Amino acid sequence: MTSLPVEFDYVIAGAGSAGCVLAGRLSEDRDVSVCLIEAGGPDAGAVIRTPMLLQFAMTEPKINWGYVTEPQTHLNDRRMLWPRGKTLGGSSSINAMHYMRGAWENYDEWESAFGATGWNRETALDAFRRVENNENHGAPWHGQGGPLNVKSIAPVNPLTELYYEACRRRQIPWNDDFNGARQEGCGVYQVTQKGGRRCSAADAFLRPALDRPNLTVLTGALARRIRIENGRATGLEIETADGVHELTARREVIVSGGALNSPQLLMLSGIGPADHLREHGISVEADLPGVGENLQDHLDIMARATTRSARSIGYSWRRLPKTAYDVSRWAITKTGDFTVNPVQGCGFVKSSRAGELPDIQLVFIPALASPHATERMTGHGMTLHACHLYPESRGRLRLKSADPKDAVLIDPAYLSAGADLEVMTDCLRIATEILMSDAFEGERLDLQLPAEPGLSRSALADEIRARAETLYHPTSTCAMGSGELAVVDPECRVRGVEALRVVDASVMPRLVGGNTNAPTIMIATRAADMIASA
């Protein structure tokens, strides 16, 4: 550290999806210097690169913060595990690689309902297309030639084909492109993969820039606080293995730690709810009550059944020869089933409370799966997740202490809005009915979760309280817009502090109807344009 420069034009805190985009884009200008800070380590290792090893990436503590929430009152006081990426690429290096933009109406709502001027479907689509290289879809919805490689999962498991048939028998239409004209329907997921390997944000945006002399990347460097002088952000205090250091930002400090770490860093730096900061002895630089508020997430519930054959992905003596062949093929040629994402079947459907947009997302896995892959499942089966896309519940984040090493207190307040339980009950009902479809008649053995079909809504609600988990999509804790709780303006500039921006999923005014990685990359792409032209 002592031999590296300590002054840069831009200092970026967090090398997740947004940070990688910003570092790659801003360093294209050879006349500026960029420093990217990451608390985790490098993104090396087969568990990150290999799609079929997804469960091991999700559970590897070296690359996962492994956060835990506060007890959730409406979920039997359970503390919920919240995996988040702790490596270059952030959560894009450990997630299921799903490329999902959300509904186009979501972006129009950001602009019209929350005052995020300039953020609408047209500007979002332009940014999505600009960075995309889609192997299966083209204009008008998709781009070719961009750094982020996107493809449809292929080949899918035979059980995934049966899932499609089960959906058709429920009159759920086929949808070849959930990122196109409409969302509703069933089909195959598009994923961020290339050549049989994960294509994380680090792969797509950061790695091509690493040889640039004007880009410095520091791993194992924890951002402790933003240095603020006379109302202006002037640098970043970081902690590495050899001590605490200060980096100076001549132009801007950009916070890209994600929906949890970005508001934490702001509060540690004196930016946030004044009374809360004073409780921890932190001098107030800007009283912004919205920092840490407005926390939103997709709550998920799974249904699961065992199957007769060994055609599903799984570990068993019957499948051992096939597994050994797949491992050998992958090790020697980097081809075969180990290059295929195990989380395959998609679906968007409507609950009994839905409006014009589908409000339930389905995720089919041709395997027995456990929450967050924390239980190693043996045998064969299938799992169908269902999540509520537009929850009304709002949570918050608060500091545990003024020590940057203390994880922030996470209270998503799941199901605090009563309507959310009604939709979640529909989620489990629909997922169970699909798994019980006669399309699976020759394969399905026993329903495991829930323990039996045809449960009453009251019993289904009890299952939700006992088993629902996060689908890893926290957002909106540094929301963009013009309202009372808005933290940043439509150019991602922090209100009340000069030369400071937040660029990541935390600035979403409202959670989108789908996975959040692609929208985060879109946000960073547009923000990079704004920063470069400032």
CATH topology for 1-151+192-295+396-411+474-534 is FAD/NAD(P)-binding domain (3.50.50)
Q: How many Å apart are CA 534 and CA 527, to the nearest integer? A: 10
Give the pLDDT band (50/70/90) at residue 332: confident
Q: How many Å apart are CA 357 and CA 101, to the nearest integer? A: 14
Q: Please, are residues 508 and 486 in contact by the beta-carbon 8 Å criterion?
A: no
Give the pLDDT band (50/70/90) at residue 1: low
Q: What's phi and psi for 403, nearest 5 deg?
A: -85, 120
Host H or E run for residue 9: strand 7-13
3 state DSSP class of 255: strand
Q: How many Å apart are CA 211 and CA 67, to the nearest integer? A: 33
Q: What dotted CATH number matches 154-188+299-390+415-467?
A: 3.30.410.40
Query: How do 271-272 and 286-287 pair as beta strands?
Result: parallel
3 state DSSP class of 218: strand
Distances (CA, A) of 122 to 125, 128, 282: 5, 10, 42
Distances (CA, A) of 162 to 167, 178, 289: 9, 19, 49
Question: What pLDDT score was predicted for residue 183?
Answer: 97
Q: How many Å apart are CA 230 and CA 373, to the nearest integer? A: 48
Q: What does the mean pLDDT of the chain come to?
A: 96
Question: What pLDDT score was predicted for residue 3?
Answer: 63
Q: State pTM to two decimals.
A: 0.97
Q: Which residue has the tokens 């007890």?
A: 71
- Out of 74, 372, 388, 473, which one is annotated catalytic? 473
41 pLDDT higher than 90 = yes
Q: What's phi and psi for 14, nearest 5 deg?
A: 115, 120
Q: How many Å apart are CA 8 and CA 27, to the nearest integer? A: 11
Q: How many Å apart are CA 478 and CA 474, to the nearest integer? A: 11
Q: How many Å apart are CA 488 and CA 509, to the nearest integer? A: 10
Q: What stretch(es) of the chain map to CATH 3.30.410.40?
A: 154-188+299-390+415-467
Q: Please, are residues 151 and 185 in contact by the beta-carbon 8 Å criterion?
A: no
Question: What pLDDT score was predicted for residue 83?
Answer: 97
3 state DSSP class of 362: strand
473 in catalytic set: yes
Q: What is the mean pLDDT of residues 172-199?
A: 97
Q: Which residue has the tokens 């490689």?
A: 149
Residue 115 CB coordination number (10 Å)? 16
Q: How many Å apart are CA 114 and CA 106, to the nearest integer? A: 11
Give the pLDDT band (50/70/90) at residue 5: confident
Q: Which residue has the tokens 């045809």?
A: 454
- Burial category of 327 from C-beta neighbours within 10 Å (exposed 0-12, middle 13-18, buried 19 and up): middle
How does pLDDT run across 486-511, given as a tens digit for each residue? 999 999 999 999 999 999 999 999 99
Distances (CA, A) of 204 to 21, 32, 85, 132, 371: 8, 21, 16, 10, 29
Q: What is the mean pLDDT of residues 365-372?
A: 95
How does pLDDT run across 246-262, given as a tens digit for each residue? 999 999 999 999 999 99
> Per the omega criterion (within 30 degrees of 0), is the bond before 412 cis?
no
Question: What pLDDT score was predicted for residue 320?
Answer: 84
Query: Residues of the chain with pLDDT > 70: what percent?
Result: 99
315 or 129: which carries more pLDDT confidence? Answer: 129
Q: What's phi and psi for 96, nearest 5 deg?
A: -85, 5
Question: What pLDDT score was predicted for residue 91?
Answer: 98
Query: How do 243-255 and 232-240 pair as beta strands?
Result: antiparallel
Q: What stretch(es) of the chain map to CATH 3.50.50.60?
A: 1-151+192-295+396-411+474-534
Q: What is the mean pLDDT of residues 82-95?
A: 97
Residue 533 CB coordination number (10 Å)? 7
- Burial category of 513 from C-beta neighbours within 10 Å (exposed 0-12, middle 13-18, buried 19 and up): buried
